[in-house]
Amino acid sequence: MARAIWSGSLSFGLVNIPVKLFGAVSPKDVRFHMLHDADGGRIRLRRFCEVEDREVPYEHVVKGFEVGANRYVTVTREELEAYDPKATRTIEIHDFVELAGIDPVFFESTYYLVPERSAAKAYRLLGQAMRRAGKVGIATAVLRTRESLCCVRPSGEEALALSTMNRADEIVPASSLELPEAGGQPSERELAMAEQLVASLAGPFDPERYPDLRRQRILELVERKAEGQAIEAPQPEAGPAQVVSLADALAASLAAARGGGKAAGAGGEEERAAARPARAARRSAPPQAARTVASKRPRKRRA
């Protein structure tokens, strides 16, 4: 059962909807511990003072902002807490805008908003109104002592989602990039072939078609090593074929798409279909691996 990470209310105008916030994403990264190669012991990171050459207890660690070479301004926890925004426990919608008008670069993390039972009608009212208007809400909320800019939007047929957003001054504008100066323009034939290629590859978004093959292979490697199997290094994959010209690349890509395949170097569906989806769901090494490492550790004798 998922646990709420925040509770408060969602407001627009004078309407307040008691809601709870639940995580919408469960990262599946393969995480490893750092171990000593000689005995399998855990490697721990410690707070170490470079001046006194010794470990420092947490209660004597302060925050410092670098203002010059080896020059810092220290700030206490009490000073920082004085600037924390007031925890209003309210997600306040300020404006309604079109979702297409928001560049995806603004979005950070996404959560689900779930109403209290008594607020189900108001919750559905807001969702249906946004769906009919084709709008999403821009809001602010205090989450984890920080005021976050948020986007409240319909998700699925009934739910509302909340995505935290980057601020305007945090976005690197594309105009600041050193892009190549305008060179040769594509010909009408090249543009027509590119449009045909886009049309031939167009379809509804299906995230199941794009599994994390690297994560699956790493989990398989860990499981096989835990079972004591001999591991051989995989053969390097062949790189994409050399392209003579843009027109040739487009023509070859179109031929492959019309034939139901993929252009060279794009990756095959057979490889993805052969992946094991059950193992993709595992977030860490199987229990056998933990026991294998633990068995190598020498037991400490009590004095």
Question: What is the rounded distance in angstroms from the CA atom of residue 243 to the CA atom of residue 249?
Answer: 6
pLDDT class of 128 with cuts at 50, 70, 90: very high
**Structure confidence by residue, pLDDT tens digits, 30-82:** 999 999 999 999 999 889 998 999 999 999 999 999 999 989 999 998 898 88
What pLDDT sits at residue 103? Answer: 95
Q: Closest Cα to residue 297, out of 43, 38, 31?
A: 38
Q: Does 280 have pLDDT greater than 80?
A: no
pTM, two decimals, is 0.70
Q: Residue 30 in contact with residue 219, Cβ under 8 Å? A: yes
pLDDT at 97 over 50: yes
Which domains, from first to last, does the chain contain? 6-27+83-168 (2.40.290.10), 211-227+247-296 (no CATH)
The answer to whether 211 touches 277, Cβ cutoff 8 Å, is yes
Distance of CA 110 to the CA centre of its chain: 9
What would the mean pLDDT of 201-208 be, rounded to a whole number? 90
Q: Let me know: does 75 contact 63? Beta carbons within 8 Å.
A: yes
Q: Cα(183)–Cα(253) distance, rounded to whole angstroms?
A: 23
How far from the centroid of its chain's Cα atoms is residue 170's Cα? 17
